[in-house]
Amino acid sequence: MSRVALVWSTATLAAALSTCAPADPPPLTGRRPGKRSGAPPRIAWRDRDIAISGLPAVADDGSVVVVAYRDSDGGRGNPNLTLLEKDRGDRVLRRVEVIAANDVDRLESSQIALRFDAASSWLDERHAAKHLVAMVPLDAHPQTDAGPAYASGLGVTVHWQPSTLTIDLGSAAAPIRQATPASWIIADRPLCASCTEICHNDAFLGGAHVDRKRRIAVLVISYRGSDTCWEPGSQPHVVAW
């Protein structure tokens, strides 16, 4: 065999072996593989108000939900925001207080911007790790003489009254009925530290978001109030079936 042929054969063999060799494994990042599902949730501070998009959002595997919680702040009504990551049993796994009601009046604009930048980075990280998918809001129907408040859409109807939840998926299957814990309800309390009068707020279903594919929903429990008995902030709760 000539020297030229030997060199060519050696090069060909090396190329073939490199083609058959297994590729280097991807680096370990602590994130789930695969393509992220759409844009991440977004929050922004705009003109002393908070813009939110893409929340609540559920992990692609249905394991967790990220929700935005805002307190009513009584008569003052200052904007505020806390991000919560909850599991399918409504347990809080992670909590990020973006801005409290008292912060709005004491922080400089640049400080508030830093808070929102940090929270946005956290949302990006959770989106990369969990492939968050925005949940679809149902239409909220207020209470009438004919019945209590409910939410509906996408062939789903959600009814809730204290301690009782019914989710009708509009199929041949029987509706889903669950008892909800007493902790969902804000307890009665004195109107003030020295008051004997009791403040009671009626609870009702203020809204709902559903993901039928992942069999999970976020219910918003809201409250009625008065000038002397301010309503508490609406509370988001996760239910799964």
Cβ within 8 Å of residue 152, ≥6 positions away: 138, 139, 141, 158
Distance CA 64, CA 104 (A): 30
Q: Where are the alpha helices (DSSP H) in 91-154?
A: 103-106, 109-130
Q: What pLDDT score does 215 carry? A: 96
Distance CA 60, CA 34 (A): 11
Write the single-letter amino acid at 142: P
Question: pTM score, two decimals?
Answer: 0.82
The sign of the torsion formed by the CA atoms of 27, 32, 37, 39 equals negative
Distance CA 161, CA 4 (A): 87
Residues in the chain, overall count: 241
3-class state of residue 40 by DSSP:
coil
Q: How confident is the model at residue 171 (pLDDT cuts 50, 70, 90)?
A: confident
Q: How confident is the model at residue 183 (pLDDT cuts 50, 70, 90)?
A: very high
- The long-range contacts involving 51-54, CB below 8 angstroms and separated by at least 24 positions, are 52/81, 53/134, 54/132, 54/134
Instruction: State the DSSP code for 208.
Output: E
Is residue 192 predicted with pLDDT exceeding 70?
yes
Q: What pLDDT score does 74 carry? A: 64
Q: What is the mean pLDDT of the chain?
A: 88
Q: How far is C-alpha 10 from the geometric centre of its chain's CA atoms? A: 59
Distance CA 143, CA 149 (A): 4
With beta carbons less than 8 A apart as the criterion, state whether 105 and 114 touch.
Answer: no
C-alpha atoms less than 13 angstroms from C-alpha of 97 in its C-beta half-sphere: 7
Tokens of 102: 């008292």
With beta carbons less than 8 A apart as the criterion, state whether 157 and 170 touch.
Answer: yes
Q: What pLDDT score does 75 carry? A: 66
Is residue 93 predicted with pLDDT exceeding 60?
yes
Q: How confident is the model at residue 96 (pLDDT cuts 50, 70, 90)?
A: very high
Q: What pLDDT score does 1 carry? A: 53
Distance CA 31, CA 48 (A): 35
Span 59-71, mean pLDDT? 97
Distance CA 101, CA 74 (A): 10
Write the single-letter amino acid at 137: P
